[in-house]
A and B are shown apart, each in its own frame.
Chain A
Amino acid sequence: MRALHLATLWTHLASCALLMGAFSMVLLAGRPRAATARRWDEGVVRWAGWLVVVALGSGIVWLLARTAVFEDRPHAALEPSAVWHAVLDTWPGLVWLARHGLLVVLGVFLAIGADVAKRRNWLAARGEALLLASLALALVSASSHAAAISPGAAQAVAADVIHVLGTGVWLGGLLALALLLRATSGDAGIAGRPYAVRAARRFSRAALIAMLVLIASGVMNALAQVESFAALMGTAHGRLLLAKLAVLVPILALAVVNRTRILPAMPAPDAMRRLAVFVALEAALALILVGLAATMTLTTPARHAQPVWPLPFRLSLDVVLDVPQTRWQVMLGGQLVVVGVVALLVSLLIRRRRTPVRVGALALVVLGVGVGLEPLVVDAYPTSYRRPLVTYHAASIASGMAVYREHCAGCHGTTGAGGSLTDLRSSAIARRHAGEIFWLLSHGVAGMPRFDDRLGEAQRWDVINLIRALGAAETAKTLGWQVEPGRAWLVAPDFSVTVGPLAPTALRDHRGRRMVLLVLYSLPGSRARLNELARMYEVLWVTGVEVIAVPTHAPRDAIAELGASPPVLFPVVTDGAADIVTTYRMFAPGPHAELLIDRQGYIRAIWDDGTGAVLAQVEKLNAEKSPPPFPDDHVH
């Protein structure tokens, strides 16, 4: 069913693109006067009529196949109620209906066979056909991957519409032009040659613009749907995009040959024949591109897929930080590349000895790349760019702590310092991709056994979250009780706030809205401070702060334990407090600690008593003009 789905989608998209391009080519060429050119014009219209039939037929089969895929039942394709539901009750179905309605109108319009002897009528007929075909093609974007991007769907759809229309102008124009060149290259079509040459030159200019538009909109689409180099290399969607680029290379080579060698030799019959063949070849390659695009449409977008890194290595600038001895080599390589590029630019300006300068410049660039990149090469694994299964959450870190104590602490020590082993809290470990640590943890590394047979995937990610928290806790030692304006770097692990039997909320619910003063308290030592916070809660609330109190001894009757006077009205965590305490005590040990978390979700100050003068620190956060971006929910 998937193959049928793909085949019909490809046929449908290709026929719609050919339709649109055929009429754009006819309009580019202008109204024909010579008999051969008129026959070509009429032939294109006849051909377009059949394309409408193909587009409608393949569109209907595509709809049936898609219904079966949506319903996950092959028989659903033949059930009128299921098909009706797919058309009328889904957004892609409504778009399908609108597009096919336009195709029906276009088909009827072409079938009328109106008299176009007058220029005005010819222009109106061909222009209307182009308009209807363009609308039918452009609406494809309304139910594409681009339409599902949020936020920014409007820009993504606009880029996709431009991309689709550019494809139509270029691909459809190619085939129509090949037919014209073939018709006029023989002796019988000699009268139409000036028309064909003019059409080819106009199309050449239009195709150049269309190609530039295609590349620009394609880059925008890739940025929106692929997002990263790892996703480009490591997902099916990304690899299809690479395949498209690979097919584009010979197309561009053919286009350059056509534009620079063959077009100037026109209207020689040989040149016209050769151009017809090359243009047809270019169109065939373009149809392969449409096939790849159709496959991409049915593939999970790269930004949603887990990348599987295909190479045993990757480049990492972190090496320069971890191994200072490599800096000179990277610097040298960089300088050689710069000199090489400058020499290449100079070679464009000089006339004498241009070739040796160019060769030397290229050699310098290659040498520089080799010298400069060699030390940056580090080992990589299929999971190097994998996104963690679980978020950076206190429950995950606490669970990771339990797993760590049972399986890892024996060698790495309870703090992660690990004696002769790598310090898990070090900046070098903090800079390693989470996916790499996941691979090493799963498959083992020199001296360390594999854990994929002992720990579930979620447990391994829990341990990685713990390792990240250990590193963060180490750097958190430099964080004082005073907020440093503009310096937000310590991500606060998320946690659930459960008050009694009420539905839990989360720390991240406060993002963008309120600062949070997280209070880890122990009774009776924290009593006086909690009373003070209870009395100033209204003031804190007005200044944008929510107080969340977490008892370190985690009783379920924590609220009752605090008593009625003064009334404590801020949330007191009664369930899950142990996870929060386990996690946040890594950042702030002691029986009583307070952590000020800004609106973006970063820990900005830590103190263990009331001397932090909370209002003064809150004032500093309120005065910050440009908040940092929200931290990612997952570690990297």
Chain B
Amino acid sequence: MPVWQVVLVLNVVFAVGLGLGYAGWGRRVAALDRDVDAARAQVERLERERQACAAGARAGEQQWEGRGVVRAAYPQLLIITHEEIRGLLPARTTSFRAASPTLRETVRVGDPVRFALRGTVLDDAAVVAIARW
């Protein structure tokens, strides 16, 4: 076999190898990374659902835990400056619906608190428990 043909085959093998390597391995690795992230989020979600279920929630509801400082308290609304609530919100000041009007009686403006939110998504999540930190 002439050398130029050997060289040609060698370079084609390199190019095809790199292409197949990317298609069969590089892309697969990227897809696996995405799958792992999705599975991790799913596990966290199921864990929150399990916690909510143990606390007497309806099917499909999750429970999130948060820490923050009470900025305002109304019978139906608690405004809290909070740390990141994993799987729900970044650190910021948020107004949350209070599941019970009595919740506001347990805290005052400026109190550092731990609180639990329950719901299926952010829009229907409500504070179900709150206590001084």
Contacts and interface: CB of A to CB of B under 8 A. Distances in A.
Contact of B93 (A125, A503, A560, A569): A569
Contacts of B110: 500, 557-562
Contacts of B6: 112, 114, 124
Contacts of B72: 564, 567, 569
A560 B111 CA distance: 7
Interface of A: 105, 109, 112, 114-116, 118, 120-125, 127-128, 131, 499-503, 505, 557-564, 567-569, 571
9 contacts: A114-B6, A118-B2, A124-B4, A131-B11, A501-B133, A502-B112, A560-B109, A567-B72, A568-B71
B48 interface: no
A121 B81 contact: no
B7 A502 contact: no
B10 interface: yes
Contact of B69 (A124, A127, A128, A502): A502
Contacts of B33: none
Nearest to A112: B6
- Give the one of A116, A123, A564, A568 with max B CB within 10 A: A564
Interface string B107-133: 011111000000000000000000001
A25 B108 CA distance: 82
Contacts of B7: 124-125, 127-128
Contact of A571 (B73, B81, B83, B111): B81
A334 B73 CA distance: 71
A114 B109 CA distance: 86
Contacts, number: 78
Contacts of B11: 128, 131
Nearest to A102: B14
A500 B2 contact: no
A114 B8 CA distance: 14
A501 B111 CA distance: 10
- Give the one of B73, B81, B91, B108 with max A CB within 10 A: B81
Given A503-B91, A557-B110, A564-B109, A569 B79 contact: yes
A622 to B, nearest CB: 22
Nearest to B113: A500
B127 to A, nearest CB: 16
A566 to B, nearest CB: 9
A27 to B, nearest CB: 14
B97 interface: no
A501 B3 contact: no
A90 B112 CA distance: 44
Contacts of A564: 72-73, 108-109
Contacts of A112: 6
A502 B112 CA distance: 8
A31 B83 CA distance: 72
Contact of A500 (B8, B79, B81): B81
Interface string B2-39: 11101110110000000000000000000000000000
Contacts of B71: 559, 567-569
Contact of A560 (B10, B68, B108): B108
A448 to B, nearest CB: 47
Taking chain B's interface residues, is the majority helix, strand, or loop, or is none over half, making it mixed? mixed
A499 B83 CA distance: 10
A124 B67 CA distance: 69
A567 B91 CA distance: 19
Nearest to A503: B83
A564 B10 CA distance: 77
Nearest to A560: B110
B8 to A, nearest CB: 8
Contacts of A560: 108-111
Contacts of A503: 83, 91
Contacts of B83: 502-503
- Give the one of B2, B4, B91 with max A CB within 10 A: B4
A557 B112 CA distance: 10
In the A-B complex, the 3 residue pairs with the closest CB atoms: A560-B110, A567-B72, A559-B110
A557 B108 CA distance: 11
A116 B3 contact: yes
- Give the one of A122, A127, A559 with max B CB within 10 A: A559
Contacts of B93: 569
Interface in B53-80: 67-69, 71-73, 79
Given A109-B10, A571-B81, A500 B3 contact: no
A105 B11 CA distance: 11
Contacts of A131: 11
Contacts of B91: 502-503, 505
Contacts of A568: 71
Nearest to B72: A567
A123 B6 CA distance: 12
Contacts of A123: 4
Contact of B112 (A109, A500, A569, A571): A500
B2 A502 contact: no
Nearest to B84: A503
A124 B2 CA distance: 10
Contacts of A124: 3-4, 6-8
Contact of B81 (A116, A502, A561): A502
Interface in B72-109: 72-73, 79, 81-83, 91, 93, 108-109
- Give the one of B2, B6, B71, B82 with max A CB within 10 A: B71
B63 to A, nearest CB: 21
A234 B85 CA distance: 48
A501 B109 contact: no
B104 to A, nearest CB: 10
A23 to B, nearest CB: 13
Given A502-B69, A502-B83, 13 more contacts: A112-B6, A120-B2, A121-B2, A121-B3, A124-B3, A124-B7, A124-B8, A125-B3, A128-B11, A502-B91, A559-B69, A559-B71, A562-B110
A112 to B, nearest CB: 8
B10 A128 contact: yes
Nearest to A501: B112
Contacts of A561: 110
B133 to A, nearest CB: 6
A26 to B, nearest CB: 14
Given A503-B83, A563-B109, A114 B3 contact: yes
A524 B29 CA distance: 61
Contacts of B111: 560
Given A502-B67, A502-B83, A559 B109 contact: yes
A508 B6 CA distance: 60
B69 A500 contact: yes
Nearest to A558: B110
Nearest to A502: B83
B98 to A, nearest CB: 15
Contacts of B109: 559-560, 562-564, 567
A170 B110 CA distance: 71
